Every structure is written in C-alpha cells, then in structure tokens.
Amino acid sequence: MNNYKISAKEWVKQTNAIGIKAQAGRYGGTYAHKDIAFEFGMWISAEFKIYLIKEFQRLKENEAENLKLGWNLQRTLAKINYKIHTDAIKENLIPRELSKKQINMKYANEADLLNVALFGITAKEWRDQNPKLKGNIRDHASIEQLVVLSNLESINALLIREEFSQQDRILKLNKTAIIQMKSLLTNTDVKKLESLK
C-alpha cells in the first residue's frame, strides 16, 4: 500500500534487497534497477504510468511496422532475384522461334518449378485451394520461405546455365529447400521475429 512508510536503506537492510542501493552523504541517493524504478514511478504517479503504457504501445507498433518492412524487403529481394532467374531462362531455355505466349508459358513453368520445389504446389493449385485470398502464393509466404525462394532462384539460374534437365533441377531445388527451411525454422533469431508479428 502506498501509505506504508519505510526508508530505502531500511528496506535493503531488512530484505537483503539487491535491486536497490541507498547511500547517504553529499553524492548519495537512492538507486534502483530500472524495473523497480518503473514500478515505483507508476505507484506514485498515475500520469507516469499512462506515459509508460503509451510509450510501450508506440514502441510495439514501431516494432511491428519494422517487421512488415522486413517481410516486404524479403519479398522485394525475391522479386529482384527473379530477374536473374528469368534471364537464365531467356538465354538458355527459350528458342528464338517461340511466340510471346509460348515464352510466357516457359517463364510460368519455371516459376512453378520453384513453387513446387518449395511449397509443394503450383500457383494454380494454390489459387484453387485459396479462392478467397488476394495475391499469389508468394504474397502469403513466410519470411523463411521468401529467403529460401530467393536462394532457389539463384540456384536454378545456375543449374539452367549448366544445362541440367528440369527433372534434375526440381530434385536438387527441393532438397535444397528442405535443408534451408529446416535451418531457418530452427534459427532462434528468425523465431523471435516471427513471434513479434
């Protein structure tokens, strides 16, 4: 109760407290661990308590916004990295005689190769399973999946240039996706980010 009176020095003596320090003299004073100081401040001042709560909420909102930026950064990185992937397709898999429609089908086919290697389904299968969701499978991917997707795009571009067959590439990409997802899902730093969403 806040009408209970005891000096900080007496409190330390009676309770063997380690979070509070009281010193007498010219440069003396009472010092406390920040958790104790905050609790004391909230106890004596409702205004301070409201300020602390509001500040905590503001910081959590900023933190959440930064996480969204982190996800957007990973999504943007995957999109930028996709250029490396499409260039490899254009330079190595598309004969000059194909029509624009056939070329687009080749790009879509290679994009689905990555989708199947990572997500286990094609873009169309995902849309059929999620008709109410806006966007595509990659728009709803986790941070870990976007990191792996970005890596798979680079690896697939290299495998295309080295003339691996699509069948060989999907097997290699799937194994890589499994290894990388396992690694990222056990990464405590990534888990901390996910828990703050």
pLDDT digit string, tens, across residues 54-105: 888 888 887 777 666 666 666 676 776 677 777 777 777 655 666 778 777 8
Query: What whole-number percentage of the chain has pLDDT above 70?
Result: 80
Instruction: Give me the mean pLDDT over the 8-30 stretch.
Output: 81
Give the range among 33-42, 149-158, 165-174 with minimum mean pLDDT: 33-42
- At 116 the pLDDT is 93
Query: What whole-number percentage of the chain has pLDDT above 90?
Result: 19
- At 196 the pLDDT is 46
pTM comes to: 0.51
Q: Which residue is associated with the tokens 């059929």?
A: 128
Q: Which residue is associated with the tokens 């190769």?
A: 113
Say if CB 152 and CB 138 are below 8 A apart.
Answer: no
- At 197 the pLDDT is 47
Instruction: Give me the mean pLDDT over the 28-56 stretch.
Output: 82
Q: What is the C-alpha separation between 107 and 31, in angstroms, rounded?
A: 66
Q: Is 25 left (phi over 0), alpha (psi -120 to 50) or beta?
A: left
Better-predicted residue by pLDDT, 74 or 50:
50
- At 45 the pLDDT is 80
pLDDT of 118 strictly over 80: yes
Residue 73: what residue type?
A: L
- At 43 the pLDDT is 78
- At 181 the pLDDT is 87
In the DSSP assignment, the letter for residue 25 is: S
Q: What is the C-alpha separation between 151 and 138, in angstroms, rounded?
A: 14
E-assigned strand segments in the chain: 20-23, 29-32
Q: Which residue is associated with the tokens 């990295």?
A: 81
- At 132 the pLDDT is 93
Instruction: Give me the mean pLDDT over the 104-127 stretch.
Output: 89
Say if CB 132 and CB 158 are below 8 A apart.
Answer: no
| Mean of the per-residue pLDDT values of the chain | 80
Q: What is the C-alpha separation between 74 and 150, in angstroms, rounded?
A: 8
SS3 (DSSP) at 187? coil
